[in-house]
Chain A
Amino acid sequence: MEASTPNLSRRGFLRGSAAAGIAIKVSLLRGTPAEARLVEAAPGPGWIAGGKPRTRLDAVAKVTGAKTFTRDYRARDIAGWPDIQAHAFLIAATKADRRFEGLDLSSFGEGLQPDRLVLHEDLVKDGLAVPPHPDFFGDRFLVPAGETPRLLGQPVALLIYHDYPRYAAAKRAVRFNEDVVRYGETTAYATPAHYGATRWVRIEGDGPEGDDRFSPYRDAPIFSGFKGDEPAWPAAGTDGPFARGMAAADAIAAEIAAAGDDALVLKRSYVSQSVDASAMEADNGNVWYDADTGTLHLMMATQGPYEVAEQAAALVKASRFPVSAIDLKAGTTVGYGTKDHHLHPLLCILAGLYGGGRPVRLANDRFEQFQNGLKRHSFTMDTTLMIDRASGRFRAMTGRYVCDGGGRPNFSMSVSFVGATAAQSIYYLPKSDFQAVALASRAVEAGSTRGYGTLQTMSATEMLVDEAAELLGRDAIELRLANVFRSGQRNSQGAVPAGALRNDEILEKAAAHPLWRERQAKKAAFEAKNPGKRYGVGFAQVHKDYGTGAEAALASLEIDPQGRLTLRHVAHEMGPGVTTSQAVMVGEILGRVPETTEFGVVRWPQMPLETEDQPYTTPQADEDRLSKNPRWTPRFTSPMSATNSAYYLGHATRSAARILRDHALWPAARSLWGRGFGGGSLASYHTMRADELRLADGKVSGAGLPPLTLEAVAAEAQRLGLPVGVTLHTFNRWQWTEGEFELPGTGRTRLPIDALALRYGAGASAERQALMTTGGWHFVERSAVFYPPTQRNNVGTTYYAPMATLAEVAVDTGSGTVTILSHHSILECGRQIVPELVSGQIQGGLAMGIGHALKEFLPLYEGGPGDGTWNWNRYELPRSKDVAVWNQTVEILPPLSETDPPKGIAEVVMIAVVPALANAVAHAIGHRFHSLPIRPEHIREVLA
């Protein structure tokens, strides 16, 4: 392994250590216990029936309109806050080619002048700069007077009102008012430098499973700077991985250029548009700066409360506002990624700091959300696929994937290479060269949004392969099967994916489906019966990574003497049902769901861990040194993002349940079974193994022994002083970390975790009791730890979940309207935890993909969302009539075994339908669109 490269993370955000000296407390919003129960019900007896939950835990709160979202809360609703509420809004620049000269608020009249007007110059004077460094959120919150905005929609001023009526009236006055912001002379654009370029080149060695000649994992991805708007790739050569990688890229290009008649070389360019994820809850926050106590109170809609709290600490560190404590509360929220590392919380904090002791609420309306909310990146993609005509096998693929990140860096660079590394889709490629280029522009900032670059690139590949099949005269699914990526083969980074790849099973099912088999006959019949309409069926299949390559989590599980379980977890709810599914996982292992659950837990006094939170960039030698500290971990916890709940966060829950089973319930049950004369009923069955233990329906049984109640076993565990409480920390770098721990009474034990704390039952010896000194727990310092090598950072991903969609459409040749008649999807998600939640995710993902394929569009620059005039009246979202609500079906592959882990599916479910619809339209009208969305006006133009 040669020297590595800059930040290779999917979400390589470098968190500052500026929090030093500021106490940070983060919690899910809960006032009284009664209020807490309104938001999230306890699972309780009867919640599970036949192994399935009857409802979501948050169902009643949500269906009764209880205050569950951050947006629902005013200061008066939050315990300990003053009963007053100020409100703020931003005024934004709608031009990015003129100097900002100042504001003209004369149209407001005297009565509507703000109680506090905050400009860039105020922030400078008060020591408030964008944290933690300018290469994530940009260099300025507000546009300085006399300067040109970095991007369309960049705020120029923050206006604070102490009462709602004047705030609301002023906001109405400023909307669409082009006279409020004064501009000066026309200038060049003031966009930041481009965000980065990487190149992922692989040439196989001895076949798909052999050692690669060159690959990012074996060697390195290639990084470059820019010359103008073009990446300045290193020169090819033999010295160093970049030069050798470029030589490999040149070899692939030369082979394609020299292709003879025996190969089809298909070159196509694609465009995927900028999209607003349109989470129903727009960005918002409420901040109270209590100068008397030096406490910054935050109520934030965010997917990453930890990050926001740390950024808040970094923001105020050098300011004139003394802060000794940050108290962040987070309600339920929804963002589809767009509330992960977004700027809005920091703008809310600015508002709070200037509130004069009043809590200040900054809540986007929909126009503002379009203007400043994170967007899904627009991509332009130039692809080339070389196919052996005789065999139909892919020989090589290249692609140049350029995303427009807008005017702040955010995650654009990682979005670009996550997209590029996904471009191979479900195919094995002997040779590949994928360029990932993240450009800066004056567009509204793009960032983490459901799909994370892969929707764009895999959609292009699936359109490309479909067209290739047509040109080769082959069945499109048969061509896919000929090239399908199989278990044990290497991906375009040179890594072998986790577990079994079942893309071939899905393809075979799709090929046999009536929608596919009968498509030509149905086309003829439909078009004969419906003059003016064209019928088409399209297919696409993708598989999507989940996780970030640095997934960390904490969970705690305890059992009391009555057998009641308490689960505490760092995860918090974003909508998909994580709180419900984590509770179900406990039930699957322990035969009883927790009576008490607490999510979004951030105070872990029993886990005194230390971290630099640089999991992607710490060199191997440094990590080897740091990990000798038994309290060190590469990362403390991850945001709720990247489809990480079922597999990664669930690993913490499942591990805690298994440790409790193996080290408390199993020995306690043996103790009870061994009671009585001559060793009791266990004596003749003393060879019973731990894997024969059965926990179900509150009973403990197995191997022919008399069933015990969980209560009795729990009481025995308590009496014996066994570990009845387990808190643990997990870390995954495309592979789980393992640690070895000296467990009292058990000895050295290897577990799939890197930190552990135990709480012993009341009957524990005084010696064992004395160990519980860390927040009332015994923090078991690990004896050894095995972090996945840092080289794993180069693999891009190894965890995939696949889905295919068949879409049946009718195209109206007069209006150009595409009507989805039906669709059928096939998903492989490992073992489902709560099937109802899985099906909801699939249906929701499909609807979002339909919007991307056929409806949603934002101009990037002038006339786009930065101008503050966009809302859902002109940005068309899919409604129920658009998604074939009564005519959609899903098949989920059964797991290969009952021990298959669940896979993350929140993103993959929205992707396949996008190219499937494009391919269906092509089947219907004989024209292949290469730019999304495919709207009626585009179809009319083609058919005219």
Chain B
Amino acid sequence: MTALPKSENLSLTVNGKPVAMPVPQGVSMQEFLHEWLGLTGARMGCGQGICNACTVMVEEPGKLPREVRTCITGAHWFEGKTIRTVEGHARQNADGSLTLSPVQQAFVEGFAFQCGYCTPGFVTAATVLIERLKAAPVPREAVERVVTEALDPHICRCTGYVRYHAAVRDLVLATPGLVTA
């Protein structure tokens, strides 16, 4: 017999803001973001960790950011952690305008997406890749390979992937310090 889930307190930092509230056990991080916080950018695709439309960045001091699938990870696993969802990548300016992150800007200028449902996952994956390359640049000839490895877990049904990959490749090649001489 299934019991009514009990709640436990959950505290974490989401897009730079502290969040604390009771959350039922068994609730996934994706459900928590959608139903409790109203942040729906980490999208429900499969609920099985297959398509990666739901990923967010976990940021820890002194470590490279990680990409975590929220549909198969319980909300309470994030206790005490700091995460960045797709809603937290662009900077809100004083006049209300947005300054997109370099990855977001590359996707916009590259007409990278169509329906856009999977875009948040691609933003997350590409941002994690860029941060990784800042710490460990790769040779120019390896760029396409590392872009593919970083983005391949993400399923897109509209674009055929080409413009996403090309946008990230071009961004990597144009950003100083990501490619070794």
| Chain A residues within CB distance 8 Å of chain B | 54-56, 58-69, 71-72, 74, 76-77, 106-109, 111-112, 164-166, 168-170, 172-173, 277-282, 332-334, 336, 365-367, 574-577, 836-837, 839-848, 871-873, 877, 879-881, 883, 885-886, 888
Contacts and interface: CB of A to CB of B under 8 A. Distances in A.
Contacts of B157: 277-280, 334, 336, 844, 847-848, 877
Interface stretch (B59-67, B100-108, B173-181): B100-108
Given A166-B4, A168-B31, A881 B152 contact: yes
A369 to B, nearest CB: 9
Given A173-B2, A280-B115, A885 B148 contact: yes
B73 to A, nearest CB: 15
Given A168-B24, A280-B43, A844-B158, 4 more contacts: A169-B5, A332-B115, A366-B44, A840-B159
A170 B24 CA distance: 13
Contacts of A847: 156-157, 159-161
Given A74-B38, A881-B148, A843 B161 contact: yes
Q: Which 5 A-B residue pairings sit nearest by Cβ, starting from the closest?
A: A65-B41, A62-B116, A843-B160, A575-B115, A111-B4
B3 interface: yes
B40 A366 contact: no
28 contacts: A54-B109, A62-B113, A63-B100, A63-B113, A65-B39, A65-B123, A66-B41, A69-B40, A76-B38, A107-B2, A109-B4, A169-B5, A169-B26, A280-B51, A280-B118, A280-B156, A576-B114, A577-B111, A840-B111, A840-B158, A843-B160, A847-B159, A872-B50, A872-B155, A880-B151, A880-B154, A880-B165, A881-B152
B35 interface: yes
B165 A886 contact: yes
A111 B3 contact: yes
A71 B40 contact: yes
Given A165-B5, A575-B114, A873-B48, A65 B120 contact: yes
A673 to B, nearest CB: 40
A68 B148 contact: no
A366 B89 CA distance: 27
Contacts of B78: none
Contacts of A577: 111, 114
A109 B2 contact: yes
Interface in B1-30: 1-5, 7, 24, 26-27
A880 B26 contact: no
Interface in B59-111: 85-87, 89-90, 98, 100, 104, 107-109, 111
Contacts of A575: 114-116, 158
A885 B165 contact: yes
Contacts of A366: 44-48
B5 A280 contact: no
Nearest to A842: B160
A46 to B, nearest CB: 14
Nearest to A841: B114
Contacts of A839: 162-163
Nearest to A573: B115
A367 B71 CA distance: 14
A164 B35 CA distance: 8
Nearest to B144: A886
A63 B119 contact: yes
Contacts of A880: 148, 151-152, 154, 161, 165
Contacts of A883: 160-162
B47 A365 contact: yes
Interface string B113-140: 1111111100100000000000000000
Contact of A112 (B4, B46, B118, B158): B4
Nearest to B158: A844
Contact of B152 (A54, A278, A879): A879
Contact of B115 (A64, A168, A334, A836): A334
Contacts of A837: 111
B135 to A, nearest CB: 24
B2 A872 contact: no
A886 B156 CA distance: 16
Contacts of A170: 2
B53 interface: yes
Contacts of B116: 58, 61-63, 68, 332, 575
A796 B35 CA distance: 47
The listed residue with most B CB atoms (<10 A of its CB), out of A68, A839, A840, is: A840
Contacts of B5: 165, 169
A112 B3 CA distance: 7
Nearest to B105: A63
Contact of B98 (A54, A64, A881, A886): A64
Contacts of A367: 47
The listed residue with most B CB atoms (<10 A of its CB), out of A59, A281, A879, is: A59
Contact of B117 (A334, A336, A846): A334
Contacts of A67: 40
A840 B114 contact: yes
Contacts of B163: 836, 839-840, 843
Nearest to A34: B96
B25 to A, nearest CB: 9
Nearest to A85: B35
A63 B107 contact: yes
A390 B39 CA distance: 68
A573 B120 CA distance: 19
B106 to A, nearest CB: 9
Contact of B104 (A64, A112, A336, A576): A64
